[in-house]
Homo-oligomer: A and B are copies of this chain.
Amino acid sequence: MSRPCPQHQHPHRLIQQPLSDLTDKLRQGELKITIPRQAILDVLRKHSSPLTIKEIHTSLGKLDCDLATIYRNMHTLERMGLVRRYDFGDGAARFELSPEEGDGHHHHLVCTRCARIVELDDCFLNEFQDQLARRHGFTQISHRMEFFGLCPNCQVP
C-alpha cells in the first residue's frame, strides 16, 4: 500500500532516540514499561510516516497484542506527548512519534490512491493563526491541514 518515500524529499525529524529516553519518559508519566508499550514505540520509531492502528498491529507481528491495547496505549502515549495523532479524513487515526522537544508541528501530502505520504517540514500558518484568533476572539487555537493528490506513481490508470 504505502511505499517508502524517497529520502531526498523530506529529511524527517524522527531523530533516533535511545530507548532509555522513551522509557525514561514513560516512568516520568508513571506509566509501566510493558511489552506491548515498548513494542509499539519500537514500531513507530522504525517508520517515518504516520501509521494506523491496524498497521501498527500488523507491524507488531508475532507479538499479536489486542487491538484494544493498542488503542488504549495510543491514547496514553498521546496524552504524554510521546506520540502525535493525525487525521487524514479516511476514518482511521494515524500516529507517529513526536519529534523531539520542539512542537514539531508539520503537515502531510497524501496520495489519494496509494496512500503514500510525504511529510512537509515547515508550517507557515502560525502567525496567520494568531491573527485569526485575535480577529475572532478565539483562544487556544490550533489547526489541521493536509494536502491530497495523486502521487507520480499513481497518475497512469
Residues on A lying within 8 angstroms of B by beta carbon are: 9, 87, 89, 109, 111-112, 118, 120, 129, 132-133, 136-152, 155
- Interface of A, secondary structure class, is strand
Residues of B contacting A137 with CB < 8 Å?
Answer: 151-152
Chain copies in complex: 2
Residues of B contacting A152 with CB < 8 Å?
Answer: 136-138
Residues of B contacting A111 with CB < 8 Å?
Answer: 138
**Given A145-B143, A145-B145, are A138 and B151 also a contact pair (CB < 8 Å)?**
yes
Leading 5 A-B pairs by shortest Cβ distance: A141-B149, A138-B149, A145-B145, A137-B152, A143-B147
- Cβ contact within 8 Å between A148 and B143: yes
Closest partner residue, chain B, to A86 (CB atom): B89
A-B contact pairs, 11 of them (CB 8 A): A89-B144, A109-B138, A136-B151, A137-B151, A137-B152, A138-B149, A139-B155, A141-B148, A143-B147, A144-B146, A145-B146
